[in-house]
Structure 1
């Protein structure tokens, strides 16, 4: 394996941490926590997710358009330290023969990983992303799509923990 060391864990916010879409009957649950925040959706972030994230054998990295706002708003709510943040370059993704262009995050995440194994958790992962990473990553990679209506679940954490331990 080209990449070595602790696997990276690229974490999106909208979908994995903040459920959205058609709300369940009775609406989305909200949780007390540090605040107030300008974004009312932050109340949907379950602070208990932080201990699950910290228990994973990986290096956590924000991979979200929230950028540093994820550290400012969400890290305290989740009990996380300040995490590295992927700074998104401006790109013009084109079809590379694998059924369409990958998501605009795919290439920058692979570059950020720099040969290390990584898991990417997002609600927008598609087959084109899996094909592109499979063809270009020198290290193992798990692209784990989360249902944006429910966010990260115990089942997701079990899958991620198992994969990350195997990739270490």
Structure 2
């Protein structure tokens, strides 16, 4: 009997994805920006943390995948964001050093290496057509590179697209 297939991975960016850059009305740090459960943050906290929607944590945890931080926040994502979202400590992609500068996003190669052939979703606000093409050529499993509008961050529409792809990938 063969082992069950590993669950897909979800590589999760922070800035522009969980922390949107734009809002219709600017909230002050410590204000909930319309999210009833948003915690009051200390004055020295990251200036945009008040934009994190704590409900995203529950929604992310219900997805049929393994969550992985794919952000320059590195382990700080577990220290700062995971508690705001009610998430457990997640694995963190340790970025290899690439000296190349080109059309590919600097995360692309590292995520494909980290996935080691497992199906994955990459949720980020900086994904390009070049990244899509490179992953389709170099990754030997299914992959969804889902670009989020950095002004809005993750939305219900994004969750529907991601969840639908994950259900098909199983």
Is TM > 0.5 for Structure 1 vs Structure 2? Answer: yes
Cα deviations by residue, 1:66-87 (Å, 9 ceiling, x for unpaired): 0011000000110100000001
Across the aligned residues of Structure 1 and Structure 2, the Cα RMSD in angstroms comes to 1.5
- Alignment-derived partner of residue 158 in structure 1: 160
Q: Residue 16 of structure 1 contacts residue 146 of structure 1 at CA under 8 Å; is this kept in 2?
A: yes
1:89-168 paired onto structure 2 within 5 Å: 89-93=96-100, 101-168=103-170
Q: 1:33 aligns with which of 34, 39, 52?
A: 39
Q: CA deviation at 1:94?
A: 5.3
Cα deviations by residue, 1:81-117 (Å, 9 ceiling, x for unpaired): 000000111102355xxxxx31000000000000100
Cα deviations by residue, 1:26-62 (Å, 9 ceiling, x for unpaired): 2252653264362121111010110110010000000
Runs of 4+ in 1 over 3 A off after TM superposition: none
Counterparts of 1:107 and 1:13 in 2: how far apart (Å)? Answer: 19
TM-score, with normalisation over the residues of structure 1? 0.89
Q: Residue 15 of structure 1 contacts residue 151 of structure 1 at CA under 8 Å; is this kept in 2?
A: yes
Q: Residue 11 of structure 1 contacts residue 63 of structure 1 at CA under 8 Å; is this kept in 2?
A: yes
Q: Residue 34 of structure 1 contacts residue 77 of structure 1 at CA under 8 Å; is this kept in 2?
A: no
Corresponding residue pairs, total: 158
Unpaired stretches in structure 1, ≥5 consecutive residues: 96-100
- Alignment-derived partner of residue 20 in structure 1: 21
